[in-house]
Amino acid sequence: MRFVGQSLIIIFVLEFQIAIEIEIKIDHQEIMAQQLRMITIIAAWLLILLTGIYVMVTRFDQKRTDKVRIGIRLTDDGQRAIAQQFLGQRKDLSRAGYVEFTAGWKEFFALQQAGLRPELVVAVESAQLFDQGFHQLAQVDSAMEYLNQAYPMLTTLQTIGSSAFWGLPIRGIRISALRTGHQQAASLLLTAGHHANEPVGVEICLHLMNYLCRNYDIDSRVKAWLDAIEVWIVPVVNPDGYRLIFSDSLRLIWRKNLRDNNGDGRFSPDCDGVDLNRNYDYNWGVAGEHSIQSNYYCGPSPFSEPEIVAIRNLTERNAFSLHLDFHSAGEKVLYPASIIAAPKMVALAQSIAGQMKRRSGTDSYQIAPLYDLVGQCSSWMFFRKGIPSLLIEAGDSYFPSRSDLSAIVEQNAKAVFFVLDRLLDRADWAAQFQASSAENSE
């Protein structure tokens, strides 16, 4: 307001000067100069007006992005009373079993303090992520449900487990023209979203499930794959974390699940959560972070987290021929490598990396050994289960622009298509990797 006040004074003084000058000299030149000044004044006014609008809009925007959508299950009158006190007269909760409203993070934590269990329902204010083309958890879920309804002969939708904090379902979709239990040529597992702040992999999975279902009837290459191979896709291994990143405030940093490490019954961003790709039982915690505050906290024990127990159980129920685990970022394909690397895994990583062009320039994704002393998924898959498994660091940023995102998804889909072509020849595939896995077992 002070800024506007000062501007008003300056403009007033300017106008006063002009009035005096007009009386003193009136000639042609002076009239032109006067017109010029008037134009300047109008421009100044416009500038002030626009600045004011800009300031108002950005301040409003800042406030807006701090808002989250909160939902609370109300199971008894005590909880209803607390929620009612909080909401005032906005809603009558005397018989409510559930209430949903928009408020700030401050309110979210205050509700936790009061003994309720508020949940982030949906990201109402994550315009940026939505604009960039990312899909939030509810959208991923409904895409899977839609595909399951639209392509019942091709898909099986399964809840394979539930998350540590909110108990959200972890879902997997099986895509194949072969009946469940039917002997298939090969089985491919794709996972993404171990890490909450790596939504690129989720988009790759979403794209692939859509592509495979929609093209089975019209593309002979897709038909050949799905007639012989089963593809399992788990797009969001960490639904708690994934839901959280769409609430804006923590989205750039949150990597872990939402394990209640300090056992206080609520989510404490400073000390809760386990890094799900540090919790597998292969060299678990050898060089891992054991502090709960760490972004890479490996958890209290191997497989302490229900999210990856779900992956373990799925793996034990199926005979996967290959596993690809999507992460970001780095444009790399990482292969399990104990003391020495299995040459065939290196070759596989190289051939897959060669399918993917890097965003800047014409060269392809690079390969590198996984750091195998920290309980990662691909290490466990390969060394414990004998399943060739690679970690793909897709793209060169965590939250790429919309056009970069679709280019990254396209490159990674190409790599998966390449793999599906290789998998069609089962005999060759199985022989080559069982050998390399055995030669490298602990």
> Where along the sequence are the contacts to Zn ion (CB under 5 A)?
195, 198, 327
Name the minimum Å distance from CB 198 to Zn ion: 5
Name the minimum Å distance from CB 327 to Zn ion: 3
Nearer of residues 135 and 256 to Zn ion, judged by Cβ: 256
76, with CB counted inside 10 A (0-12, 13-18, 19+), is exposed
Name the minimum Å distance from CB 195 to Zn ion: 4
Name the minimum Å distance from CB 246 to Zn ion: 17
Number of C-alpha atoms within 13 angstroms, CB side, residue 416? 33
Nearer of residues 69 and 327 to Zn ion, judged by Cβ: 327
Nearer of residues 198 and 372 to Zn ion, judged by Cβ: 198
Please give the Cα distance from 242 to 202 (Å, whole number).
10
Nearer of residues 176 and 412 to Zn ion, judged by Cβ: 412
Look at the alpha carbons of 193, 196, 197, 203 in this order and tell me if their dihedral is positive or negative: positive
Please give the Cα distance from 424 to 186 (Å, whole number).
7
| Of 251, 234, 233, the residue nearest 242 (C-alpha) | 251
Which value, in Å, is the radius of gyration of the alpha carbons in the chain? 29
Nearer of residues 195 and 259 to Zn ion, judged by Cβ: 195
Name the minimum Å distance from CB 392 to Zn ion: 10
Q: What is the dihedral of CA 290, 291, 292, 298, to 10 degrees?
A: -20
Nearer of residues 185 and 237 to Zn ion, judged by Cβ: 237
Name the minimum Å distance from CB 199 to Zn ion: 11
Name the minimum Å distance from CB 202 to Zn ion: 12
Specify the amino acid at residue 396: D
* Residue facing Zn ion at closest CB distance: 327
Please give the Cα distance from 12 to 433 (Å, whole number).
83
Nearer of residues 216 and 242 to Zn ion, judged by Cβ: 242
Name the minimum Å distance from CB 333 to Zn ion: 14
Nearer of residues 226 and 374 to Zn ion, judged by Cβ: 374
